[in-house]
Structure 1
Amino acid sequence: MSHEEDALSALQLLAAMYPLDGELVLGDSAAAALAACEAGDEPVLSSPLELVVRIPIDDDAGPDVTRRVELTVSLLLDAPVKISVRQPPFLSRGAYADLAAALPIAPEHESASDTVMTAIETVRATASTLAVTEEPADPVPDVVVDDGALERVWFWFPSLSTREKRRDLVEYAATYRLTGFVLAGKPGLLCLEGGGKAVDRYMAAIKSESWGDIPSYQKKLVSSLPELTAQVTERLRRALLSSERKFKVMSEITHLIPQHGQYNHRGDMGEVKRLMEEWGVGDDFGAAVMNTS
């Protein structure tokens, strides 16, 4: 079975397992592929099938109080499936680290369906155990957080390559209810959609926690070249209507862009521009990166 057939099979399995509203959040490519399959057509696959599985961990609880863990799944068309888990609000960062560490490493040549099913069962069991150990003695009332008005914000990195920091940029987003993408390389790009105040809190957490190993007087992103340091800058902040939101999940898109240069870390900006236009954010990309308006 080819990677494409394997990815489609896993997508159809998950859609059958999680048919209820809100259980499965599909990215644009996954939604289009699933719609084509349901219509009996041959799906046109040009990018990974991105989706989020919202796994319930309280099987005996009512629907209104069910706690869920969100599993981000990227069904690649030319490589094995990529899976990561988002931090749920009911787990501390330490417990979340244990949950993320519990994700199994897929055996070579295992099908995407088997890999995803194993990850789901592992996450459900581990999260359930961790949640019990962290339950407070008395119920804690829900705290209403003011995320601010909906915005799309673009950040520019002269260089972004450190794998751990790229992973944090993706994984921290769920805590702040943000979506968008990370593009590594030279330059690097971060696009976020969500509440403007939430974006600010997210960046503050990234700088204080993810970048905590960098001196406080020099909060810079260190690239793979030891002699090169560069300051991240906010390039564009645009107010949005809910209908103008373009991204359903937070993901890294570096693998979608051809790379070149001595260290194979310079993305093809023409291809990035084409992808941004395809996703409906070409004007913002031009204003933020290409200095057009």
Structure 2
Amino acid sequence: MSTSLRECLELQLLEMEMLFSMFPSKEDIVINGVNLLSILRRYLEGTSESPPPAIEFSVFVKTEDLKEKAEMHVYLPHSYPTKEPQLFVRSGSLDKLQHNDLNKCLASYVGSLDRGDLCVTNAIQWLTDNISSYVEKSKPTNGNETDLKEDSITFHRMWIYSHHIYRQELRKKILEYAKRLDLTGFCLTGKPGVICIEGDKERCEEFWRDIRYPNWKHISCKHTESRDVTDSMDALRLFQSFEELIFEAHGDYGLRNDYHMDLGQFFEFLRKHQSEHIFQILFGIEAKP
């Protein structure tokens, strides 16, 4: 007999309570979403008929070999634990190759566990036990390896289009992710929504992967630009920081279908940052200055 949605969510709540007992500090486990567990409890108690949003959170793990805590990002589909959770680890103590190896091995480990059993706590323990070996592997043994690592850096820029960007929670998430990953660019809020990120290619791709959790509809990457660099990427950046853009709007904010950003102001912004050619790529029309 297949496990019901209610049974899956009950197990998810049980595991979350276990995690909070394991990580009592609010800094060690951070849930994405306001009152998410309260919404889940109300649904399980029968006081709310609508299924809650999928659980998404980050767990921060520290070992003696890490200069800073490693973050495990966790997304639990409604069908977890009958379906695998989506896990991704990032750490400032690892280079890009070791990030890839670590996450592949973590996925392999989780895939080897029995479906139907809770496994996030097991994955956290696996990470705690094994991440030190990846830190050791990532340490260069001579100057030549350091040079090779520097030679492999790729500067990347992504232009992302969305039908709209409104929710305060989502806007906060975009800003936090960009700053944490040392990406510059902007997020144009309203309708339409546009995001530009630039920086290390792997970090750009990580940002793109993370903001689409669980399933952001009507969003696509319209254009990318890449260039290999052997020195600082700062000279290639069009933006000095990551900021949120809010231009004048046409229409009633209360009626979101009628709330459109002033694209003329947006075109002027692009032109000031040597990016006016992107306007046609994003919107399919040629702007007239």
Per the normalisation by structure 1, the TM-score is 0.47
**Between Structure 1 and Structure 2, whose CA radius of gyration is higher?**
2
Q: Larger relative contact order (C-alpha < 8 A, sep ≥ 6)?
A: 1
